[in-house]
């Protein structure tokens, strides 16, 4: 008979072994979450700002630039040193917002374009007028489009497009106390 070695293990040794295995797995899972959390802190709070002008271009076009998110984007991009093309359907609001931005950021060049894309009729006249207005003051290094009104923008060699939208009319069809807003967005 060939000799066989039988390893016996007491119950307490088996329990210790299982506890070590489970504790090691728990430690690895906690370590993974801790590394993820540190990475998030680094990317959210400690990284340097991206050079928008060097990366994308010195001009930003913002549609719907006179209220809400569009206005906030306009102020933020002017703060970062970009020149702005503000597009809205209200000439009075365009004048007011551009004066506000010029007062706070006098080094930013600002062009305004009054276009109501809802009256475009699908013929592309609004986009043609926008192109003419953008090129009217000379060629610009347009690198960022903040798209609040759903215009289509031709692809370029470089740049960034920020599409702003709302799912209010589609995702949750019944908004309590927001029926008009949901219907308008739909």
Q: Give, to the nearest 10 degrees, the angle between helix 68-79 and helix 91-104.
A: 30
User: Which residue bears the tokens 């009319």?
Assistant: 169
d(CA 171, CA 186): 10
CA distances from 172 to 19, 69, 150, 163, 182 (A): 48, 21, 20, 20, 9
d(CA 162, CA 185): 19
181 belongs to the catalytic site: yes
d(CA 43, CA 127): 37
d(CA 2, CA 157): 76
Q: Which of 56, 153, 178, 181 is catalytic?
A: 181
CA distances from 83 to 19, 30, 50, 142 (A): 62, 46, 16, 9
d(CA 49, CA 115): 33
List the catalytic residues: 181
């Amino acid at each position: 008979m060939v000799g066989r070695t039988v390893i016996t293990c007491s119950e307490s040794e088996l329990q210790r072994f299982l506890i070590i295995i489970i504790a090691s797995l728990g430690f690895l899972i906690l370590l993974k979450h801790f590394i993820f959390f540190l990475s998030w802190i680094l990317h959210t709070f400690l990284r340097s700002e991206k050079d928008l002008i060097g990366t994308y271009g010195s001009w930003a076009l913002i549609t719907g630039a006179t209220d809400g998110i569009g206005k906030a984007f306009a102020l933020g991009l002017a703060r970062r040193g970009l020149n702005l093309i503000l597009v809205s359907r209200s000439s009075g609001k365009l004048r007011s917002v551009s004066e506000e931005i010029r007062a706070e950021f006098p080094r930013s060049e600002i062009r305004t374009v009054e276009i109501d894309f809802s009256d475009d009729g699908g013929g592309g006249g609004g986009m043609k007028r926008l192109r003419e207005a953008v090129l009217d003051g000379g060629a610009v290094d347009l690198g960022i489009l903040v798209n609040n009104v759903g215009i289509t923008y031709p692809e370029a060699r470089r740049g960034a497009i920020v599409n702003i939208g709302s799912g209010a009319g589609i995702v949750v069809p019944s908004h309590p106390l927001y029926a008009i807003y949901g219907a308008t967005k739909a």
